Amino acid sequence: MPSTLKIALAQANATVGDIDGNIDVMRTMRDRAADMGADVVVFPELFVTGYPPEDLVLKPAFVAAAKRSVEQFAASMGDGPAVLTGTVWPHEDKVYNAVVLIDNGAVEAVRFKVDLPNYGVFDEKRVFAAGPMPGPVNVRGVRIGVPICEDIWGPDVVECLAETGAEILISPNGSPFDWKKPDVRMNIVVSRVVESGLPIAYVNLVGGQDELVFDGGSFVLNADKSLGVQLPAWEEALVLTTWHREDDGWRCTAGECVALETDAGAAYRACVLGLRDYVHKSGFPGVLLGLSGGIDSALVAAMAVDALGPARVRAVMLPYRYTSQESLRDAEACAKALGIDYTVLPIEDGVAGVTASLAPLLAGTNADVTEENLQSRVRGTMLMALSNKFGSMVVTTGNKSEMAVGYATLYGDMNGGFNPIKDLYKTEVYRLSRWRNENLPIGALGPAGEVIPEAIITKEPSAELRPNQTDQDSLPPYDVLDDILNCLVENEMPLADIIARGHAPETVQRIERLVYLAEYKRRQSAPGVKISSRNFGRDRRYPIINRFREGT
């Protein structure tokens, strides 16, 4: 029986559907792990296919391609460390979320995920069969239990592995980020360690996939609950861990424990990584956005530069007669601070042209939100024209508060391919903006220092679609609005309980009504980074036609 085992933790970034590309990443990381002297290298959940593959799993050709590629990879491995990796795997007319052990030129063992999550963003019961309770696999003479992601969120699978002789637990994960998730994961792993008496290596995916972003943050927890190794968040990493057999079991020798960013820093890096991977994996050369002089577009511009570099970001100011000189000044200052291409394209002629075309039908009516929305839609049309001509993707800049209550214009400021701040409330936009001015995130491609001018942060927010307009003309202050929205959206609180927090009953009822009415707009909005426990879309699935209103 070996007294030492060297396990390389491969915190890697997969692309859904790019089976050959993901296999190439595995091959490269395995070669590096071999140079480190690893006995085995461990990849995250469903790494071969990317996670989540969703209904691709229902395509027999996709499943067959994944199995074929794994077997070809196994046959080509030669000498070196064994590989534990996640993949889809067919067996007896069913398809499983699986982990395969590859060694000695072959797939030596397969284990299936037992507990398939079917809540929030997860829909695994739709495409996978649940596996039987697993036993450990033999890795170079050591019995390794491999509970897959959700399998460690309850006690049963780990208990089964401990009872069937597992000596070390390695948990491959595809665990998406939200504000509270890092602490939740650690608490879950502590519980499993305490119950089983076994150490756990937690290996998590990193990278963006559509609206989800995976933060990595892999770690090892010893049987005494001490932290053996902590990998960084938000970046790929390959770390060799050394394990020794002691009298009371296996222990990971203490290694580097990276301090993880929390709160605003973690949320900011989530938005940047989600945007970067969406652009890269979609194949866009860069992005463009309307830079209005307001805080939302300024924060998105900063995130875009940090994600892609200033050379791949283009900003366009699209002023109309209601655009203030302060907004023109602030937008230019923001673009200059970020070092990005900046152009001013007035929309006066475009709005006049559309207005003239509509004049026969609008004659005799009073100006209202229709004319305001025309400004936004002309801006959206101009941005999309630039996107079509030069290939860059339009990023949208609406925050969660606006998306919640419908204060965004379809086919106008909602135009675009991706929205990095879609899941940030307005108050969080302010908080992240101040954080970014005080911090240069690790790996950011933008400049240090104040990149969002203080004047943008301190001025009263306004869409500037009519004279002297402010957001608070028709909305409560954002600290009030966001608290009500958090109660309604994240927590599904009864209206009476929200009112008990000190909010006016008529305000709460009005905001509830606006949230329901805006569902049809949100269904047509661009995807955006999920960072809350309940984002619009994957987490919160409400009907568009909905006449329910809660009485108070």
List binding-site positions for ATP.
Answer: 290-297, 397
Binding residues for L-glutamine: 119, 175, 181
d(CA 219, CA 203): 7
Binding residues for deamido-NAD(+): 373, 402, 521
Query: Which position has the token pair 């000498």?
Result: 79
d(CA 190, CA 131): 24
Is the preceding peptide bond at 44 cis, omega within 30 degrees of 0? no
* Residues 6+ away with beta carbon under 8 Å from 533: 120, 178, 179, 180, 490, 539
d(CA 268, CA 306): 10
- Residue 197's nearest CA partner among 134, 242, 231, 246 is 246
Vertex 209 angle, CA 206 and 211, to 5°:
115
d(CA 472, CA 287): 31
Q: Fill in the DSSP letter of residue 133.
A: P
* Residues 6+ away with beta carbon under 8 Å from 269: 215, 233, 234, 261, 441, 442
**Edge-to-edge, what's the strand order for the sheet holding 4-11?**
106-112, 94-103, 82-91, 40-42, 4-11, 237-246, 249-252
Which residues are designated catalytic? Answer: 45, 113, 149
- Residue type at 237 in one-letter notation: A
Measured CA to CA in angstroms, residue 119 lies from 353, 531, 550 at distances of 49, 16, 24
Binding residues: 119, 175, 181, 290-297, 373, 397, 402, 521
